[in-house]
Amino acid sequence: MENESRPWGVYEVLYDGDDCKVKKITVNPGESPSYQYHYKRNEHWIIVAGEGKAKINDEIQDLKCGSTVFIPVEVKHTIINTSSTIKLVFIEIQTGSYFGEDDIVRLEDRYGRA
């Protein structure tokens, strides 16, 4: 399946169907994907390794192994790896009507993609 490197880490597509898309996402120490939202998909995150924080509509939530986060359509979100040495790994399950990478609306991005 698909495996993509990003400035903040990497994601691997585990399943890509008509009903959902499942990714394994690894965020490098001290990194964070863009603060973003989507028009056509919900996301459900399950933390499987490491610790960090989720920023959901400007509210911060602590994360550790076993934590879950649900992000509805059009809700602003990002995940932050707060460790300086350990990778943060989570499974992302996308549900909705479209799962393409072009359904990302970036609001803030430390890598100049917003």
The CATH number linked to 103 is 2.60.120.10
Distance of CA 13 to the CA centre of its chain: 12
pTM of the model: 0.94
**Per-residue pLDDT tens over the stretch 83-96:** 999 999 999 999 99
State the total domains in the chain. 1
First-to-final CA distance of the chain: 27
Rounded to an integer, what distance in angstroms lies between the CA atom of residue 23 and that of residue 35? 18
Q: Is residue 113 domain-resident?
A: no
Token pair of 12, please?
């691997």
- Provide the pLDDT for residue 114: 81
* Residue 49 domain boundaries: 3-108
